Structure 1
């Protein structure tokens, strides 16, 4: 039932650790999901930096930020400033180009506290890669939820289980959050053979679960076989993210840029280096410079989670 298991690789982002799940050398994407990071879990002392990502650019994708704990302040060059809290969604479509930052609010920084969440990048289909950039915030009422028998489920984006989230997506996908009590059983959205999505995966953010005879612990993602219809059982209290969708075609990832075209990636590099992409008006005093090109051509992974 499981095609492969991917272990999150730890990345230190200057005092804040993330677990990088996608892209993986043997599995670059799951449906349109081209990038997946787990932020934390972490507990920050009062005055300590938690999330402090300076302005940086994106093209060719949508970013989806979702938190279990904590708060992040988003600012972009479209003029949006928006805090995101647990159970909410920040959905940013980069399209032909956007610049944003994600920081800890100064008041929250003085208080300290927990931080735990997920950052996903969703590749845009060919016809939408150069769409106009946009930003949307969605509160809990926009995200269908269900609770019964020790299972809490929230549809974060897309369509699943006969429900649809209000988040406007560009291709078929689903993204679901489960909170499971020990012993609870449930099933992921159906696979290709049952009229569902072609590609699916299950990520364990906290706790441990069992899929068939395979045990998955926190920080592991199982990519499911296309026709598998497994039952998932919580071995202890667990937080689980289910994701998948239809492929949009191969994508090149370089730093924060995603595209079906190397020429478009090269243009984005030149635009950022030359200062042709404006900074957020409320966060314009610093930015992340373009990384140095390696001496030998390669395809480096993104260097930070947003």
Structure 2
């Protein structure tokens, strides 16, 4: 039932803020269209911490990025002119398409201090949408993000459709992305609704398909069978998947079905041909010359 278990690997975003990288993994690049999955924190940030910890302006192509927080706050600024704070339970969904640049700043945490904890995922766009116009969407509340409660569990559908529910987030391929908060002893079944599915334990301990997973572990499942999930202790669970998206190449922040398109984007960034955010154009992240295609 469990195809593979993936442990998060520590990765520094460049200014001292560390994340746990789960996808891509050398033996499992994607789960449905989800090609990237970073666990941010948990980290306690004291007021006045250095600005170098922020994620400076950087480019993307070929994906949608989805930022989701359990605690803390982030400020998003992009080359479309959008400035948007995100807080727990909300969703920032950015369609990068043919190209966009953005930054992620800890403005609120730097002023007030914060307990930062969340997930950032990337969703690969289907080939026919890889060059779509970039766009940004902010979603909050149960009108956009269906929520429900059952015995010992509080759930939210972040994106896509599942179990008769549909999120208002605009997706480009069949997929689902859910957040479950489970009390100790609570149980739930993940139905065999999509070909590719995974469960990530963001906090706590869970028994999944008969195997115990702890914080920072993702289980990827074989298709065609329902998966039982039980919280051994109070747990925060992320559930994701969808239809396979096909082969994708990744170099730094660029994702595409074509290496030639990635090389073009790389040169565009290096030569300064990609517009920086209007409200955050004083600095940027240089292309890391030692970076190779992700395997």
Q: Smaller-chain TM-score range?
A: over 0.9
Deviation of residue 110 (structure 1)? 2.2
Residue 188 (structure 2) aligns with: 186
> 2:287, 2:48 → 1: CA distance?
29
Q: Judge conservation of contact 2:249–2:294 (CA < 8 Å) in 1.
A: no
| Match status 1:257 vs 2:251 | no
Residue in structure 2 matching 1:87, options 86, 89, 99: 89
Residue in structure 1 matching 2:283, options 278, 281, 286: 286
1:184-223 → structure 2 map (5 Å cutoff): 184-188=186-190, 190-191=191-192, 196-223=193-220
Residue in structure 2 matching 1:53, options 47, 50, 55: 55
Residue in structure 1 matching 2:152, options 150, 157, 161: 150
TM-score of the aligned structures, taking structure 1 as reference length: 0.93
Give the 3 Å change call, closer, same or farther, for CA 49–182 of structure 1 in structure 2. farther
Q: Judge conservation of contact 2:46–2:109 (CA < 8 Å) in 1.
A: no
**Range 213-222 or range 10-19, more displaced:** 10-19
SS at match of 2:293: coil
> 2:222, 2:135 → 1: CA distance?
34
Residue 293 (structure 2) aligns with: 299
| Match status 1:68 vs 2:70 | yes
Q: Judge conservation of contact 1:8–1:219 (CA < 8 Å) in 2.
A: yes
> 2:245, 2:47 → 1: CA distance?
43
> 1:168, 1:256 → 2: CA distance?
21
SS at match of 2:109: helix
> 1:18, 1:268 → 2: CA distance?
25
**Range 156-165 or range 43-52, more displaced:** 43-52
SS at match of 1:140: coil
SS at match of 1:226: coil
Q: Judge conservation of contact 1:15–1:49 (CA < 8 Å) in 2.
A: no
Deviation of residue 248 (structure 1)? 1.2
1:118-133 → structure 2 map (5 Å cutoff): 118-133=119-134
Give the 3 Å change call, closer, same or farther, for CA 123–4 of structure 1 in structure 2. same
Deviation of residue 15 (structure 1)? 2.3
Q: Judge conservation of contact 1:199–1:244 (CA < 8 Å) in 2.
A: yes
Residue in structure 2 matching 1:275, options 272, 275, 280: 272
**Range 224-233 or range 76-85, more displaced:** 224-233
Q: Judge conservation of contact 1:49–1:104 (CA < 8 Å) in 2.
A: no
Residue 304 (structure 1) aligns with: none
Q: Judge conservation of contact 2:45–2:109 (CA < 8 Å) in 1.
A: no
> 2:225, 2:48 → 1: CA distance?
48
| Structure 2: unaligned runs, 5 residues or longer | none
TM-score of the aligned structures, taking structure 2 as reference length: 0.96
SS at match of 2:227: coil
> 2:133, 2:264 → 1: CA distance?
17
SS at match of 1:250: coil
